[in-house]
Amino acid sequence: MLVAMAAVSCKSVTEERKVVIVGAGIAGIAAAKTLQENGVEDFVILEGSDRIGGRMRQGEIGGVKVEIGANWVQGLGSNPIWDLAKRYNISGKISDYDDVVVRNKTGSDVTAEAEEVWERFGTAQEYLETWRKNIRDDKLPDVSIRVALKLGGWKVKTPLEKVIEYFDYDFEYADPPEVTSVNNTGWNSKDFTEEEYFVTDQRGFRHIVERLSEFLSPNDSRLQLNKVVQTVSWTDAGVTLTAADGSTYRGEYGLMTVSVGVLENEVIDFTPDLPPWKVEEIYQFRMGQYCKIFLKFPRKFWDDNEYILYAGSLWPQYAMWQNLEAEGFFPNGTNILLVTAAASEVQRVELQSDETTKQEVMAVLRNMYGNNIPEPESILVPRWLTNPLFFGAYSNWPVHVSARDFEKLAAPVGRLYFGGEATHPRYNGYVQGGYLSGIDQANAILKCMQQGVCKSYQPDVSSGAVVTPISVALLLPIMTAMFLLHG
Ligand SMILES: Cc1cc2nc3c(=O)[nH]c(=O)nc-3n(C[C@H](O)[C@H](O)[C@H](O)COP(=O)(O)OP(=O)(O)OC[C@H]3O[C@@H](n4cnc5c(N)ncnc54)[C@H](O)[C@@H]3O)c2cc1C
């Protein structure tokens, strides 16, 4: 009875805040921190899950905590996430992508044979880099990674060629090279260093988000967990949001930091509907799929190398293996292998039982190491695609997406702003993209609030965007004048 009454009273109260932020991933937390540091303390963060960190999250296998979401600090040097990782002593290991063994369908070590293939691939990648520079410098049309590689002489005909390509592209962008853009990728290695730091810290990669959130006091009412936002009303004067438990929040400003997967799956009801130019962009941006399958074995039977590639077929399945028993990862005897499924493989893996996945991965391991290998003691299969708080792993801008499209995705509607990794112009898909987008969007809100300089987007009629009554009204006199001038 008491519970029912509490629920009723919860429904009737509307919490009023200056800013309502949806999502307590790194973007939402970075945004709130920026507001606080600039004198705006009156905000609330609504988070649908029972924790902060979003896609920076740990799971546990065999008594060891492993990263089921973001794992690498991608690009060191001036990457702000690398600064934070160093500041908070996040332990990990710089990945050695040269420490790799390649095995074919029957398990033979074909690493030596692969040398010549890597070399040819490298030549095509040099061509791709030149092409990328030309696209950017001369404003040429974008092409897919597949097209650029083909132009560079790289045509995939063997499983060995396929797995080598997969290692650099599908494994990175969670999408095949046919989809991934040349123009929109490659910023990390241009702006930072090419090194990548694999986090093994038992406090989690998420520890960075926890430290960033230290501006919140323990049990701070400005962080509300288990609040799944279901409706968002937006106007030029403010926003009103309701959560699944009926609680309501009104803000002068709103900031959505949910994934583009959440937006495209329409689990949040916007009133009025988001304008067509916004919806069009949400549909254009893709959620890449990436599933990290962890296996705990009673003993190690695999290669000592950090990476094990399985050149099993032209359609790779369970091709990308990481030896977490290698030096510098987890304590000796942990005996954990990680195999990553990427892109179209993921849907099947997520929808089937863990037992089926276990049988499939064991079949591949037997191909590589024979029938006398032990069964795993446990398996961990995270599910991002089927989780309604994410609907996928991270955004991958497809080939036709332009800087203009990105501006539209990140543009506010009325007083409702949009952040999160997908909205960052250079580092979408990465933790640094989420972090920097949170800061950027908070600054945009502050500018509007404190200086009256507010971001807005007007649909561009010539791009085929929907013609609003206002733009028709504006266009009519121009068209009439043109008609009069030209007869
Ligand atoms: C498997 C995987 C591997 C990855 N690997 C790397 C990597 O190695 N390196 C790297 O840099 N990046 C990696 N990423 C990407 C990185 O994790 C993300 O780019 C980044 O964490 C996104 O942060 P964000 O704050 O933008 O979004 P999120 O972390 O998704 O935060 C959004 C928050 O919104 C909440 N939410 C969603 N819907 C609602 C709702 N209706 N109501 C209330 N709350 C809601 C979610 O629960 C979530 O906490 C990986 C991601 C995955 C999934």
β-strands 100-104, 72-74: how paired? unpaired
Q: Looking at the structure, tell me whether residues 115 and 131 fall in a common domain.
A: yes
pLDDT > 70: what percent of the chain?
92
How is residue 424 written in tokens? 């960052």
Under the banding of pLDDT at 50, 70 and 90, the label for residue 134 is very high
- pLDDT value at residue 457: 86
The CATH number of the domain holding residue 238 is 3.50.50.60
Q: How many CB atoms are located within 10 Å of the residue 461 CB?
A: 14
Tell whether 118 is covered by a domain: yes
Taken in order 23, 24, 27, 29, the sign of the CA dihedral is: positive
How is residue 169 written in tokens? 């592209």
pLDDT higher than 60, residue 467:
no
Tell how far the Cα of 10 is from the centroid of ligand 1, in angstroms.
28
Q: Looking at the structure, tell me whether residues 83 and 147 fall in a common domain.
A: yes
Under the banding of pLDDT at 50, 70 and 90, the label for residue 460 is low
Q: Looking at the structure, tell me whether residues 332 and 440 fall in a common domain.
A: no
pLDDT higher than 80, residue 486:
no
- pLDDT value at residue 12: 54
Tell how far the Cα of 37 is from the centroid of ligand 1, in angstroms.
24
Q: Looking at the structure, tell me whether residues 50 and 62 fall in a common domain.
A: no
- pLDDT value at residue 459: 73
- pLDDT value at residue 472: 32
Average pLDDT score, the chain: 92
Q: Looking at the structure, tell me whether residues 318 and 269 fall in a common domain.
A: no
Q: Looking at the structure, tell me whether residues 69 and 150 fall in a common domain.
A: yes
Tell how far the Cα of 74 is from the centroid of ligand 1, in angstroms.
15
> Is this prediction's ipTM beyond 0.95?
yes
Under the banding of pLDDT at 50, 70 and 90, the label for residue 1 is very low
Q: How deeply is 54 buried, as exposed, middle or buried, from its count of CB atoms within 10 A (0-12, 13-18, 19+)?
A: buried
pLDDT higher than 80, residue 122:
yes
Atom of ligand 1 nearest to the CA of 26: 25
Q: Flag the least confident range among 2-6, 9-13, 386-390, 400-404.
A: 2-6
pLDDT higher than 90, residue 402:
no
Tell how far the Cα of 205 is from the centroid of ligand 1, in angstroms.
12
Under the banding of pLDDT at 50, 70 and 90, the label for residue 106 is very high
Under the banding of pLDDT at 50, 70 and 90, the label for residue 462 is very low
Q: Looking at the structure, tell me whether residues 220 and 367 fall in a common domain.
A: no
Measured distance CA(160)–CA(114) in Å, rounded: 7
Atom of ligand 1 nearest to the CA of 259: 30
Measured distance CA(339)–CA(156) in Å, rounded: 23
- pLDDT value at residue 470: 33
- Nearest partner of 459 among 285, 280, 282, judged by Cα: 280
- pLDDT value at residue 13: 76
- pLDDT value at residue 78: 97
Residues of the binding site for FAD:
229
Average pLDDT, integer, range 151-166: 97
- pLDDT value at residue 406: 87
Atom of ligand 1 nearest to the CA of 55: 29
The CATH number of the domain holding residue 330 is 3.90.660.10
List strand residue ranges (DSSP E) for 245-374, in order.
248-256, 269-271, 286-288, 290-296, 307-311, 320-323, 336-342
CB 44 within 8 A of CB 35: no
Atom of ligand 1 nearest to the CA of 395: 19
Q: Looking at the structure, tell me whether residues 317 and 356 fall in a common domain.
A: yes
CB 94 within 8 A of CB 327: no
Average pLDDT, integer, range 203-212: 98
pLDDT higher than 60, residue 276:
yes
Average pLDDT, integer, range 258-271: 97
Tell how far the Cα of 389 is from the centroid of ligand 1, in angstroms.
9
Tell whether 472 is covered by a domain: no
pLDDT higher than 50, residue 302:
yes
Q: Looking at the structure, tell me whether residues 183 and 167 fall in a common domain.
A: yes
Average pLDDT, integer, range 29-33: 98
Tell whether 409 is covered by a domain: yes
Q: How many CB atoms are located within 10 Å of the residue 255 CB?
A: 30
Q: Looking at the structure, tell me whether residues 113 and 129 fall in a common domain.
A: yes
Q: Looking at the structure, tell me whether residues 354 and 232 fall in a common domain.
A: no
CB 327 within 8 A of CB 281: no
Q: Looking at the structure, tell me whether residues 141 and 91 fall in a common domain.
A: yes
Under the banding of pLDDT at 50, 70 and 90, the label for residue 290 is very high
Q: Which residue lies with its CA nearest to atom 13 of ligand 1? A: 70
Ligand 1 — pocket residues by CB below 6 A? 22-28, 46-49, 54-56, 69-72, 74, 227-229, 257-259, 262, 268, 290, 292, 384, 389-390, 393-394, 420-421, 429-431, 433-434
437-440: which pairs have CB atoms within 8 A and are 24 or more residues apart? 437/27, 437/257, 437/410, 438/26, 438/27, 438/28, 438/29, 438/30, 438/31, 438/34, 438/257, 439/30, 439/31, 439/34
Torsion of CA 135, 141, 147, 153, to 10 degrees: -50
Average pLDDT, integer, range 151-159: 97
pLDDT > 90: what percent of the chain?
87
Tell whether 87 is covered by a domain: yes
Number of domains in the chain: 2
Contacts of 363 (CB under 8 A, 6+ apart): none
Q: How deeply is 168 buried, as exposed, middle or buried, from its count of CB atoms within 10 A (0-12, 13-18, 19+)?
A: middle
Tell whether 322 is covered by a domain: yes
Under the banding of pLDDT at 50, 70 and 90, the label for residue 39 is very high
| Residue 127 structural domain | 58-199+290-383
Tell how far the Cα of 33 is from the centroid of ligand 1, in angstroms.
18
pLDDT higher than 90, residue 469:
no
Pocket mutation for ligand 1, best pick of 416, 431, 435, 440 (most atoms within 8 Å of C-beta): 431
59-99 pLDDT, tens digit per residue, is: 999 999 999 999 999 999 999 999 999 999 999 999 999 99
Residue pointed to by tokens 């000796």: 332
